[in-house]
């Protein structure tokens, strides 16, 4: 391995471990002080948690949820992505883009592939619920929490209806997140 690569690896390890000497970088610090305890791991940095990136991302998720809830009562229109008419994925697209998540795709099936899946038990308000059938994802809603023991979403249900809150009505779904 070239000397530069070794030096770069040692420096990276020093930063990640909060160490002050190359020996500590290899073996780890002998005691955790406040500075090294506050140093996030590489995995945490990449995942956007903890720290400022994670907090900023959570603020955008919270903003997105507020935007979705503000659309309640707007009319459904197939293929519409707002600001006053929506289909299900158009509602998600509109709210996520307004909240700063510019890379979220337009259709529910694309959104289902784009979002990171999470276990149902780990869902938080602002996560997404993707409904599946024989041909894959056919509908999406935004999880808002539980009411009377049931998981609730805000979604654009279909023709002749308006954006509204509703309990999840089937067991054929999976959650996704931008957290």
Residues with catalytic roles? 88, 139, 155
pTM over 0.75: no
The full set of domains in the chain, from first to last, is: 3-39 (no CATH), 54-177 (3.90.1720.10)
Per-residue model confidence as pLDDT tens for the chain (179 residues): 454 444 444 444 433 344 334 343 333 433 333 333 333 444 444 444 457 888 999 999 999 999 999 999 999 999 999 999 999 999 999 999 999 999 999 999 999 999 999 999 999 999 999 999 999 999 999 999 999 999 999 999 999 999 999 999 999 999 999 99
DSSP the chain: --HHHHHHHHHHHHHHHT-SSHHHHHH--SS--HHHHHSPPHHHHHHT-SHHHHHHHHHHHHHHHHHHHHTTTPEE-TT-BSSSEE-HHHHHHHHHHHTT-TT--SSHHHHHHHSEE--GGG--TT-EEEEEETTEEEEEEEEEEEETTEEEEEE---TT-B-EEEE---S-EEEEE--
């Amino acid at each position: 391995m070239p000397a530069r690569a070794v030096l770069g690896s040692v420096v990276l390890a020093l930063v990640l471990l909060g160490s002050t000497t190359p020996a500590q970088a290899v073996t780890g610090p002998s005691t955790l002080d406040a500075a090294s305890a506050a140093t996030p791991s590489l995995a945490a940095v990449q995942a956007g948690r903890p720290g400022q990136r994670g907090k900023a991302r959570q603020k955008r998720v919270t903003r997105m949820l507020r935007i979705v809830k503000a659309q309640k009562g707007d009319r459904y229109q197939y293929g519409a992505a707002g600001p006053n008419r929506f289909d299900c994925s158009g509602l998600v697209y509109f709210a996520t883009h307004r909240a700063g998540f510019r890379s979220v795709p337009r259709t529910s099936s694309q959104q289902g592939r784009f979002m990171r899946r999470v276990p149902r038990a780990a869902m938080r308000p602002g996560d997404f619920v993707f409904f599946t059938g024989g041909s894959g994802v056919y509908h999406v809603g935004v999880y808002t929490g539980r009411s009377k023991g049931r998981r609730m979403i805000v979604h654009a249900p279909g023709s002749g209806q308006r954006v509204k809150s509703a309990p999840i009505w089937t067991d054929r779904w999976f959650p996704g997140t931008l957290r």
